[in-house]
Structure 1
Amino acid sequence: MVKTRIVVYPTIFIHDSETDALTVIFPDVPSAISQAATLGKAMLNAQEVLGLMLYDVQDLPTASSLEQVQADYPHDQVQLTAVDLSTVAKDSHVPTNQIL
């Protein structure tokens, strides 16, 4: 039986009108930041960066409510991003005790 460790966090997609790029941020995981040229790529990047930042964290941050984040960022696209941290850990080639 495969053990899963699925987490879900609100994600903010901020559109930069000058570059037409999207910046991806997580209010509950400030170190998880990404950028992409399209929404599809930004969504994939969001899953990847969230997984990489949290796969070896024991005490996960509490997720804010989607409604609160949307209220805080009324002009940006806000949605939930889910990732299975157990899959990220298996796919990671960096030992959890190695500092880069």
Structure 2
Amino acid sequence: MILTTPVYVFNMSAQLKVFLDRLHAVDYRVFKGKKIVLLTTYGDNEEEHSGVQNVIKSIRMTAQMLEMDLVQTLNISTYSAPITKNEKAYILGKNLVNKEQGE
């Protein structure tokens, strides 16, 4: 499962929060053993002041509850450049596509 969110007011977007809240109605067993990758963007020049850690903690706790494995987080500042110019994000996406295709 790939989760992405901008960091707004030191936490995840309302859309991601609603998605997580609605998992309450799903049979948790369908997620057991699956993997989560989290990508956040934030508009500060320092990650520790952006609220990224609040998002990671929430997703980590959700993963534990669902018995999923949070395998990677990528937190990108858009303070000086858009995410489309970020090579780490490009490589993450490329690696996920290659794994999906069995390469």
**TM, length-normalised to structure 1:** 0.31
Whose strand proportion is higher, 1 or 2? 1
Bigger RCO (CA 8 Å, 6+ sep): 1
**TM, length-normalised to structure 2:** 0.30
